[in-house]
Amino acid sequence: MKKLLLALLLLLPLTFYAQTPAGQDLALVGARIYTSPGTSPIEQGVVVIHNGKITAAGDVKQVKVPARAKVIDCKGLILMAGFWNCHVHFMGPQWFHADTTPAEELSKHMDEMINKYGFTHVFDLATLDFPNLNALRARVASGEVRGPAILAVGTPFVPPHGSPFYVRPVMLTEIGVPAEAAAFVTKQLQAGADGIKVWSASPDGHGIVPMPLDVLKAATTTAHKLNKPVFAHPTSDTGLRIAMTGGVDILTHVAPDGYLPWTKKDVAEMKRHKMAVIPTLKLFKWELERNKVNVDDNPLMATALQQLSIYLKEGGEILFGTDVGYVTDYSTSGEFAFLSQAGMNFNQILTALTTAPAKRFGMAQHSGRIATGMDADIVLLKADPHTDIRHFADVAYTIRNGKITYNSAQ
C-alpha cells in the first residue's frame, strides 16, 4: 500500500491538489468578502462552488444561489481566500505510519495543527522520512484525510559538521562536495520534492558553521534547472550572505542569531536576488521561553523584529509561516501579533497568507483570490482582522476544494 500511494503521488501534477472535484455544490451566503488584498470588501456576499471551483462570487443581490446547492449562512463572518503556511513540519510521532494510521485519526491531528487555523496549503520544510510524508500527502490528496495541499522539500542537508544542536540526537545529512549536493538534490526531486531545503549556516552549539559556497551553488543550480525553489535556514548574517550569493530563493526565517540588524543595503541586495522571507517570529519567543530565558527586551527578539520591519518598509516579499510541527504551540495568534508589531498591516498580512505564496509557487492563475474560476480554497473568520489583526486566527470554517475541512462548531 505504501509503495502504491507513493507511485500514485509521483504521477500526479502539482495542480492535482488544487483541482480535485469536491462533489456537492456549496453556497456561502451573507459574509463580508475580501476578494484579494487591497480591494474593498463585498459587504453581503455570496460565493457559489461547483466541483471544487468558484463559479460565482459577488453581492447577495446579484449572485443567484443554485437550487441544488447546500447553503451555509455566513452572516457575520468574514470570507477570504484560504491561507498558506509556508513553514510546517509533519515530523511528530502522530504522523508516523501515515500509510496505515486510520484516516480519522490523521484528520484529527490535521485539525489540531493545520485545518483549524485556516490553512489550505502548506509547505513542509524538512522531513526525516520522505516516503512516510509522501504517503500522508497521497491520502490527503485523495480526500481520505481532511487536510491542505501539502508541498514538501523532502530531506534537507547541512554543511559538514553542521547538524544543528537543537535537533540532537538526530544528525542531518552533511554534504561538503558539490557533486554530492547535486546528486542529493536530484534524488530528492525525483522522490517528489517540490523544492529543496538547506542550512546556509548552521548552529552546532559552539558557533555558526557556514555552508561551502560551491556546495550551495551546486544545489541551487540543480534545483533551478527543474524550476524548483530553494529554501535556506540562514541562522545569522553569515547564513544570509551565503544564501544570497548561492542563489537561494526563500529564507525560512529572519536571521537574528548574530544580533545584527539588517541595513537598507542588505535589503536591497536581497531584493536584487528576488528573495522572499518567512519571518517565523513566534519561533524565537517560543525557543526563549522553553529555555527559561526572559523574552522582554531580549536582543534575539528585538533583532528578529527589526529585520522584518526594515524588509517590509523596503518592499521585500514576505510569506507567512510558523515552523509548526517543530514548534509545538500550534496557535497562530502570536505570529499575527508579532507581524503587526513589526509594522505589517491587514493587506500586507493577507498578501503573505494568500497571493504572495500563490504567485511564488506558480499557482496564481487558480489560487489565492476569491473570483470566478478560482479554486474553492476558502477561510471564513469569526471577526474582521481589518479591525484587529489577531482575528486572522479566529477561524470558523476552512474549505479546501469546496469541501469543509474544518468547522469550529463541530
Q: Is 100 part of a structural domain of the chain?
A: no
Whether residue 375 is found in the same domain as residue 231: no
Q: Is 99 part of a structural domain of the chain?
A: no
Per-residue pLDDT band at 169 (split at 50, 70, 90): confident
Assign 192 to helix, strand or coil: coil
Whether residue 35 is found in the same domain as residue 177: no
Cα atoms in the Cβ-side hemisphere of radius 13 Å centred on 1: 10
Give 106 or 10, the one with higher predicted confidence.
106
Locate cell 542563489: which residue?
A: 247
Whether residue 211 is found in the same domain as residue 341: yes
Closest by alpha carbon to 85, among 121, 52, 54?
A: 121
pLDDT in tens, 118-136: 999 999 999 999 999 999 9
Q: Is 96 part of a structural domain of the chain?
A: no
Q: For the whole model, what pTM was predicted?
A: 0.93
Give 97 or 169, the one with higher predicted confidence.
97
Q: Is 214 part of a structural domain of the chain?
A: yes
Per-residue pLDDT band at 165 (split at 50, 70, 90): confident
Report yes or no: 181 and 157 within 8 Å, Cβ to Cβ. Answer: yes
What is the enclosing helix (H) or strand (E) of 122?
Answer: strand 119-124
Give the separation between CA 362 and CA 383, rounded to whole angstroms.
Answer: 30
Per-residue pLDDT band at 167 (split at 50, 70, 90): confident
Whether residue 28 is found in the same domain as residue 165: no
pLDDT at position 401 over 90: yes
Per-residue pLDDT band at 22 (split at 50, 70, 90): very low
Whether residue 375 is found in the same domain as residue 236: no
Whether residue 346 is found in the same domain as residue 258: yes
pLDDT at position 150 over 80: yes
Closest by alpha carbon to 119, among 151, 89, 82, 81?
A: 82
Closest by alpha carbon to 283, among 340, 237, 332?
A: 332
Which amino acid, residue 314? E
pLDDT in tens, 38-68: 999 999 999 999 999 999 999 999 999 999 8
Terminal-residue alpha carbon distance, the chain: 32
pLDDT score recorded for residue 168: 83
pLDDT at position 21 over 80: no
In which domain, by residue range, is 401 found?
8-81+368-407
pLDDT at position 13 over 70: no
What value does the mean pLDDT take over residues 277-297?
Answer: 93
Whether residue 310 is found in the same domain as residue 393: no
CATH number of the domain residue 231 falls in: 3.20.20.140
CATH number of the domain residue 401 falls in: 2.30.40.10
Whether residue 72 is found in the same domain as residue 173: no
What value does the mean pLDDT take over residues 234-263?
Answer: 96
What value does the mean pLDDT take over residues 351-361?
Answer: 98
pLDDT at position 6 over 60: no
Whether residue 288 is found in the same domain as residue 260: yes
Give the separation between CA 280 and CA 323, rounded to whole angstroms.
Answer: 7
What are the CA-CA distances from residue 186 to residues 11, 139, 191, 223 (Å)?
17, 25, 9, 8
Edge to edge, what strands does the sheet with 83-88 contain?
Answer: 83-88, 119-124, 149-152
Whether residue 166 is found in the same domain as residue 71: no
Q: Is 118 part of a structural domain of the chain?
A: no
Average pLDDT of the chain? 93
Whether residue 161 is found in the same domain as residue 75: no
What value does the mean pLDDT take over residues 354-366?
Answer: 98
Whether residue 237 is found in the same domain as residue 332: yes
Per-residue pLDDT band at 16 (split at 50, 70, 90): very low
Q: How many structural domains does the chain have?
A: 2
Per-residue pLDDT band at 323 (split at 50, 70, 90): very high
Q: Is 262 part of a structural domain of the chain?
A: yes
Q: Is 160 part of a structural domain of the chain?
A: yes
Q: Is 304 part of a structural domain of the chain?
A: yes
Closest by alpha carbon to 216, among 240, 204, 200, 203?
A: 200
Please give the backbone phi and psi of residue 349, each rounded to the nearest 5 degrees, phi first.
Answer: -70, -40
pLDDT at position 205 over 60: yes
Per-residue pLDDT band at 2 (split at 50, 70, 90): very low
Report yes or no: 117 and 332 within 8 Å, Cβ to Cβ. Answer: yes
pLDDT score recorded for residue 23: 55
